[in-house]
Amino acid sequence: MATQQPLCGQRLEALLDRLPTRPGVYLMKDLDGRVIYVGKAKILRSRVRSYFRASGDERAFVAKLDKELGDIEVIVTPSEKDALILERKLIQRNNPRYNIDLVDDKNFLSIRISSDHSFPRLMLERRRVRGSNPKVSGRWFGPYTSAAAARQTFRLLQSALQLRTCNDRVFGKRKRACLLHQMNRCLGPCVQKVSVEVYARRVKQAIKFLRGRLDEMVADLNRQMKSASAELRYEDAAKIRDKITAARQTLERQPLIDPAEKDRDIVGLHREGTSGMVILMQVRKGSLLGASRYPFSKIEVSNADLVRQLLAQHYHSGADLPREILMPIEALAGAEDCYELQVLADWLTDQHSFSVKVAIPSRGHGARLVEVARDNAREAFLARLATASILTDRLLRLERRLGLSRLPRRIECFDMSTLGGKYSVGSLAVLYDGEPMKSAYRRYRIKSAAPDSDLDMMREVVARRFRPVLEGSQAGPDLVVLDGGKGQLKTIQTLFADLGLDDVDLVALAKGRSEKKKGKPARERVFIPGRKNPIMLRPESDELFLLSRVRDEAHRFAVSYHRKLRSKTSLRSLLEEIPGVGPVLRKRLLSHFGSLRAVRKATATQLGEVSGVTSKLGQRIFEFLATFKPGSPT
């Protein structure tokens, strides 16, 4: 029965108090009784109650529950592993609008061997159907990023192992063997040309071959070849020899990326705000057999939840499961996430006859494989980004969240870097349509401002940036971001008023205090003109991603310039301090080597080639500069 009023107040508290303290699944329903979210919990009461705490869950949909939530139902399970299975089934059944549903972005070809028949069928399929539908049961292999490689592997299996490819309807009606049997591409199980036991052995060989294990299949083919040769059937023996060669070549074409030759699935994650890409690379016997891509957008769950739900969905669909799954460090935020990963590993182990290990490698070859997967995820996301509307959606969200006067296509951020008032510099970083525009980056040496005053330096740098804008020789930004708080914001507000700038949006971005007791990092605060309290941005939001990205770019650019100035100045002062090196000789050294950096890299022999530098002095200069290590700015 539909609930007419939102579930809140005393009714909500009474319901929360009655929830069990056992593992299970909870279903949140809207005012019309539709399921809008499904989740699992180790302790149902604690997990559900966390949604309604003042400093609880920060996901976007949680803020809407006070208006949309009509009821909460729970289903108790014997263990959290059972809750994981039930959660996946309920998500498939109800398709809740606030749950994650990651779908492979391209319908790559996969090979499937059915499991619902005494004579399993070999198939090439483009769409992998999830769930336990008996019509699509079996073992999946792939997907293959190359359709040609998938078809070649399929033809090889069909030729070498002669598994049937006809559908069950045709198989059941056939009275005599088809043409494929006559061409030695099918064993003819439809007309009892082969026993169930022999056929089953061929199926096992096919599965091992698709998982990268060639030995048993080749051994069987070798026996057939020798038997044919002994019976003087040399033509048949030659055909079997060609099959062995083709099988070996097929596997050799797969790149070897893991010298340990293990069976692994490797998860790569690249995330930008609420959008990103997850890649699952399938490595068998050390060779890369394929990769599944799962793009996502407008998802604000944590990385740990994102990866966990992806794996549960992927392997629930019948995908080939290895003995080890390597995860990125982003999937681990705390002790609770470690526990979640162990639950996932236990569940996968229960579904199969072998132990499954879920690991997050921090060093060694495993960590390098995860880095390769992460790089692939990033490249796939950027390629998709070029043709998608994600960039525009991000900018629209930022415009609405901050109440800007226009779409911030060009965002400029200013930052300062100094060390006790020395080598003070400023930087400008630019995002255009959400992407770094490095050709527009600028850096500034502080000229007139007090070098130990961040506010004065910020005013000078911003004024210098807007001078050509006011003169009409350059276009201005849509949004200016200041790395700082209220002080920086008020200073630049006054500057804009003095310059007569009233068509540029202005904000300041500053970190808040970390909540150490709750184990939460510091939240970013955005200060806006005319607003007393800052806007607090959610950690995984698109708005924060854009602002922190341009702020980090400005900071990096300022620090690198600051470090360069310190290094040059320190080196120049060192040249002046070397006994026997006067102004004339310093000029000759710089003229001969071209730069201070080249002087420092020169050997004693190379230094001795400069006019006026003896071998003894060259050795002294070399030893003096060898001890120089420039400090890093703070």
Task: Quick: pLDDT tens for 361-376.
Answer: 888 888 888 888 888 8
Q: Are residues 323 and 449 in the same domain?
A: no
CB 270 within 8 A of CB 372: no
Residue 477 CB contacts under 8 Å (≥ 6 apart), including other chains: 410, 411, 412, 430, 504
Q: What's residue 429's pLDDT?
A: 92
CB 567 within 8 A of CB 630: yes
Range 397-424 average pLDDT: 85
Q: Are residues 420 and 512 in the same domain?
A: yes
H helical segments located in 231-351: 234-252, 303-316, 335-351
Which of 19-28, 59-68, 527-536 has the weakest average pLDDT? 59-68
DSSP state of 538: P
Q: What's the domain count of the chain?
A: 5
Q: Are residues 438 and 367 in the same domain?
A: no
Range 566-592 average pLDDT: 71
Q: Are residues 298 and 332 in the same domain?
A: yes
Q: Are residues 442 and 526 in the same domain?
A: yes
**Could you tell me the two tokens for 259?**
């010298």
Reported as a pLDDT band with limits 50, 70 and 90, residue 461 is very high
* pLDDT exceeds cutoff 60 at 3: no
Q: What's residue 404's pLDDT?
A: 92
Query: Which residue(s) pair with 346 in the sheet?
Result: none
| Residue 62: CA count within 13 A, CB half-sphere | 17
Rounded-to-integer distance, Cα 522 and Cα 510, Å:
10
* pLDDT exceeds cutoff 50 at 191: yes
Range 424-453 average pLDDT: 85
Q: Are residues 56 and 115 in the same domain?
A: no
Backbone angles phi, psi at 549, to 5 degrees: -65, -50
Q: What's residue 634's pLDDT?
A: 31
Range 395-403 average pLDDT: 91
Q: Which of 30, 65, 94 is the last residue of a domain?
A: 94
| SS3 labels along 409-446 | CEEEEEEEEEECCEEEEEEEEEEECCEECHHHCEEEEC
Residue 231 lies in a domain: no
* pLDDT exceeds cutoff 70 at 65: yes
Q: What's residue 421's pLDDT?
A: 61
* pLDDT exceeds cutoff 80 at 474: yes
DSSP state of 191: G
* pLDDT exceeds cutoff 80 at 141: no
Which of 47-61, 94-108, 305-319, 535-549 has the weakest average pLDDT? 94-108
Reported as a pLDDT band with limits 50, 70 and 90, residue 517 is very low
Rounded-to-integer distance, Cα 444 and Cα 416, Å:
9
Task: Write out the DSSP string of 275-306.
Answer: EEEEEEEEEETTEEEEEEEEEE-S--S-HHHH
**Could you tell me the two tokens for 150?**
């998938």
Range 230-257 average pLDDT: 70
Reported as a pLDDT band with limits 50, 70 and 90, residue 137 is low
pLDDT, one tens digit per residue, over 337-368 is: 677 778 888 888 887 778 888 888 888 888 88
CB 390 within 8 A of CB 270: no
Q: Which of 178, 213, 248 is the last residue of a domain?
A: 213
Question: How far is residue 140 from each of residues 24, 113, 148, 202, 218, measured CA to CA in Å?
Answer: 30, 7, 18, 17, 22
Q: Whole domain around residue 354: which residue ranges? A: 264-385
Q: What is the CATH number of the domain that holds 469?
A: 3.30.420.340
Q: Are residues 409 and 512 in the same domain?
A: yes
Residue 494 CB contacts under 8 Å (≥ 6 apart), including other chains: none
Q: What is the CATH number of the domain that holds 603?
A: 1.10.150.20
Q: What's residue 632's pLDDT?
A: 39
Reported as a pLDDT band with limits 50, 70 and 90, residue 431 is very high
pTM above 0.75, yes or no: no
Q: Are residues 485 and 587 in the same domain?
A: no
Residue 311 lies in a domain: yes
Residue 631 lies in a domain: no
Residue 566 lies in a domain: no
Q: How far is CA 488 from the centre of its chain?
A: 34
* pLDDT exceeds cutoff 70 at 430: yes
Q: Which of 518, 536, 561 is the last residue of a domain?
A: 561
Per cent of the chain over pLDDT 90 is 11
**Could you tell me the two tokens for 103?**
């779908």
- Beta-strand pair 524-527/69-76: unpaired
Q: What is the CATH number of the domain that holds 300?
A: 3.30.420
Rounded-to-integer distance, Cα 93 and Cα 465, Å:
57
Rounded-to-integer distance, Cα 181 and Cα 187, Å:
6
Q: Are residues 422 and 373 in the same domain?
A: no
Q: Are residues 504 and 427 in the same domain?
A: yes
Q: Are residues 438 and 516 in the same domain?
A: yes
pLDDT, one tens digit per residue, over 266-311 is: 999 998 888 888 888 888 777 766 677 788 877 777 788 888 888 8
Residue 551 lies in a domain: yes
Rounded-to-integer distance, Cα 483 and Cα 509, Å:
5
Q: Are residues 316 and 351 in the same domain?
A: yes
Q: What is the CATH number of the domain that holds 77?
A: 3.40.1440.10
Range 148-163 average pLDDT: 78
Radius of gyration of the chain (CA): 33
Residue 245 lies in a domain: no
Residue 408 lies in a domain: yes
